[in-house]
Amino acid sequence: MSRVCDICGKGPQVGNHVSHANNKTKRRFMPNLQAVRAQLKSGEVKRMKVCTQCIRSGSVTKPTVN
């Protein structure tokens, strides 16, 4: 299971854990991905993994209930 946003392509980033004694060990920052039903431009409804920034910015259009 990939941890990449289907819209913007955001994936894990690398950084350091920094302890109180200033010891540094590697860590990964994971994007906040949500499983969302999104309506594509063609009108098709598809389940996607999307980061919360794409949801908030309006890049994802949710399907309307008929």
Give tens-digit pLDDT for 18-57.
Answer: 999 999 999 999 999 999 999 998 889 999 999 999 999 9
Dihedral sign computed on CA atoms, order 8, 12, 17, 18 = negative
pLDDT confidence bin for 64, thresholds 50/70/90: confident
Domains of the chain: total: 1
Cβ 61 vs Cβ 38: under 8 Å = yes
Evaluate whether residue 26 is within a structural domain: yes
Evaluate whether residue 4 is within a structural domain: no
Check which CATH number belongs to the domain holding 19 and give it. Answer: 2.30.170.40
Q: What is the pLDDT of residue 56?
A: 95
Q: What is the pLDDT of residue 65?
A: 77
pTM for the model? 0.81
Q: What number of helices (H) and strands (E) belong to the chain? A: 1, 4
Q: What CA–CA distance (Å, rounded) separates 62 from 45?
A: 9
Show the domain range for 30: 13-57
Q: What CA–CA distance (Å, rounded) separates 53 from 35?
A: 13
